Structure 1
Amino acid sequence: MINLDTNTAVAFIAEGSPVRYELRAFVKKQQMVIAQTAFNEFINIVQYSAGSLEQTRANRFLQRVIIVQDNPSAAARTLRPTRSLDVNDIIILGTGDEMGIVTMTADAKAVRAASSQGVNFNVYLHLPYSLTGR
């Protein structure tokens, strides 16, 4: 299994995303999961920023992802939010940590901020890509 954060889910559905192919190659046939917090953020972004092509792709994407309950690890719960690491980052990264799986993210700042507090998450970092509105 692989945990997806919000910006990874966006990169999977963004029109013209060159990152999508890299993400697909990494995931291969592994089951993708998304924490409830990441799912909620993703749905909000899609609702307000996605164009029709991206909304269609989001619907197909969500059929292949399992939504899991937020359940951050004990290590994640020790983290203090900062400008670079917000509560949702802690929940999403921590849920993947609790599950013992890799979290795909483009949020290198959050990963570094957690590391500076002594918590190192198992992540696959990729370049960010935003929705185009198409």
Structure 2
Amino acid sequence: LTLQAKEERDIHVLPILEKYLRDKDVFICETAVSSFQSILDILGGQAEKRRAAELIARARVVTDQPSKRALALCCQGRIKERSKIIFGTGDSLQAVTMTSNMGFVRAANSQGVVFSVFLHPARALTEEKELHATPLLNEEQCAASLRDVTSQK
């Protein structure tokens, strides 16, 4: 989470996703909505939940309809049934699947199945956690703190 937080400070993912989605029809399969909602219910902050609701409202929720080639993947390592359904539904719809799940994409590739994907950096839902977190010092604050400690000796 710390690495993802640092990466998010350096490169904000939301504008990248918004730009990619602009003027596109968005489909979300039922399994993806259900999985995402479960994560949001446990970890999501209010703004994260609001943005998720806006995204889902903008999309067309479709029934799970995984492709035969997705279903043929062997469940092992990074290949899980849930991912087969989500990526396979995108495959059936001949849609590009937006994902940060590089592990599944690589594992499917190694089994000879290449999905059409838009890969984006992974980001955890952290808003709720940030409410109770101890703020990190920036470089300037660290240097000042170090000066204070060394001057007290």
When normalised by structure 2's length, the TM-score is 0.73
Kindly provide the amino acid, as one letter, of the partner of residue 22 in structure 1.
Answer: I
In proportion to residue count, which structure has more helix?
2
> Cα deviation per residue 1:12-36 (whole Å; 9 max; x = unaligned)?
xxx9881111111111111111111
Name the % identity.
36
2:17 maps to which residue? 23
Q: Secondary structure at the match of 2:123?
A: coil
> 1:74: Cα distance to partner?
1.2
> 1:62: Cα distance to partner?
1.9
CA radius of gyration, larger in? 2
1:103 and 2:91 aligned: no
Kindly provide the amino acid, as one letter, of the partner of residue 103 in structure 1.
Answer: T
> 1:59: Cα distance to partner?
2.1
1:93 maps to which residue? 87
1:123 and 2:107 aligned: no
> 1:47: Cα distance to partner?
0.8
> 1:49: Cα distance to partner?
0.6
Q: Secondary structure at the match of 2:34?
A: helix
1:81 and 2:75 aligned: yes
In proportion to residue count, which structure has more strand?
1
1:44 and 2:38 aligned: yes
Q: Secondary structure at the match of 2:127?
A: coil
> Cα deviation per residue 1:63-105 (whole Å; 9 max; x = unaligned)?
1111111101111111011121111111100100011111111
**Which structure's relative contact order is higher, taking Cα pairs within 8 Å and 6+ residues apart?**
1
Q: Let me know the Cα RMSD of the aligned residues.
A: 1.7
CA distance in 2 between counterparts of 1:25 and 1:55 reads 20
The 4+ residue runs of structure 1 with deviation greater than 3 A are none
When normalised by structure 1's length, the TM-score is 0.83
